[in-house]
Structures are given as structure tokens and as C-alpha cells.
Amino acid sequence: MLEVRNLHAGYQNLEVLHRVDLKVPSGRTVALLGANGAGKTTLLNVIAGLVPAAAGDILVDGRSVVSEPAHLRARGGICLVPEGRGIFRHLTVRKNIAMFLSGRNLGAALERVGRWFPRLTERLEQVAGTMSGGEQQMLAVCRALLVDAPIVMADELSVGLAPVVVDEIFDAVEMLRAEGRSLLIVEQYADRVLRVADYVYILHKGAIEFVGEPAQLADGSLFHRYLGGSADVPQSETAGGRR
């Protein structure tokens, strides 16, 4: 389980996050929603160790990691798929996959990638930065699928992608859920992430303003208040679609 307690963080003299408490139970999916500038990316970066916490604690299965550097948090089970792809743009797809594995069996990994995203097997010798945005995002998601991290955080998986590619990306999210990973997902298309989420947090001006289940957002009033819009939450797919 991932737990954030009374977290404060920011940049230089600007505090962006205020008294943030958040839990991602083992094997569950949490959607983190909020307007642009609410602090969502900052929160993921603080949890990953890329931005220091000013106060508060971050725990993985009850163990505090708030003082650990980013590489130790990654080894300890936290995987971040950042906004903007998070790949090695100047390396080939094959070499990107090899970098994700840190020396483990490349052949088996390539077979798995081919099952998840067949298009990437056609691009193995292509420089990653020359692929389409959708293909680059597929490659970024492969990192989360290939590593054994029990906690996966994803920041805006679908930004700038065509709907058909978004479908493929969320198929990969479903695979991560089926493997029992704990997922914390920031997503611009709220209706898509709410279909797979067990719990929802809304971040507003750096503070958590709502914690609940997707069904509680069905009338759209909270979206209008904090996100400036509404979302269609299918009643049959709330609470992560689990029945």
C-alpha cells in the first residue's frame, strides 16, 4: 500500500501542496483528478522522489521512504510513467526496452511487448523519438508492464493521443490491474479513468477536497465545482467495474 500523510511540498518559496493525505490500497486503482495547476504532477513527483517533501511522510507498506532518493524508491517498488512519455528518445525501441529491464531477459520481454503492442515489434530498430506520439506512449507504458513494481503512478497517459490509441493504453492499464498492481492515475479524460478506478481523490489548489468512489461523482456537481466541467460516469462501471 502507498500512503501519503500530511504532505507539504513546492518549489523554492512557493508551496504547491498543502496537508495532502492519500492512500492507494494494495491492488486497487486510485484516480487523482484536478484542474490544471492543482498540483497533481507535483504530487506524483514528490512520491517518486523527484521533488523533495517540505513536511509530512510517504510510506510503502508501512515503511517511510520520504528521505530516500528517487532511485531507491524505484528499486523499492514505485514506478512513475511521467507526462511527456518518459522514454529515451535518442535510443531505439529495442534499447529502450533493454534499459527498462536492467539486464533481465530481453528476449522474453520483447515477446511480451509484441503481445501488448504489436506495432512496437515493427519499430524495434527505430529511434524512439521519431515514432508517433501514440507509439511513444505505448513504449512508456511498457516500462510499467515490464518492471515488477507493485506501485505504478501514471501522469496523463492519454494526453494528445487519438481515441483509438487511448483505448490501447487503457487496455494496458487493465492488464496492470489484473496483475494486482496498486495504481495512482492522473488523467485528463475523467470518464475513462473513472471506469477503472476504485477510489477518487480531487486535488484543488494543492489540497485534497474530495475522497470517495466514482459513483459519488455521477451527478457531476463536484466536477463543475473543482474541474469546471462534468463527466459521464457509467453507473454499471463505477467502483472500478468490479462485480
Dist CA 199 CA 6 (whole Å) = 19
Which residues, other chains included, contact 67 with Cβ-Cβ below 8 Å and sequence gap of 6+? none
Domain range for residue 88? Answer: 2-241
Q: What's the grid cell of residue 63?
A: 515503511
- CA angle (100, 103, 108) in 5-degree steps: 75
| Digit-coded pLDDT (tens) for 98-150 | 998 876 789 989 998 998 999 999 999 999 999 999 999 999 999 888 988 99
Domain count, the chain: 1
The answer to whether 81 and 141 have CB atoms below 8 angstroms apart is: yes
What is the pLDDT, as a whole number, of residue 63? 96
- Residues of the chain with pLDDT > 70: what percent? 93
- What pTM was estimated for this model as a whole? 0.89
The DSSP annotation for 37-62 comes to TSSHHHHHHHHHTSS-EEEEEEEETT
Residues paired with 57 in a beta bridge: 5
- Cα(32)–Cα(23) distance, integer angstroms: 11
pLDDT beyond 90 at 92: yes
- What span, in angstroms and rounded, lies between the C-alpha atoms of 145 and 236? 27
pLDDT grade, residue 232 (50/70/90)?
Answer: low
Specify the CATH number for the domain of residue 55.
3.40.50.300
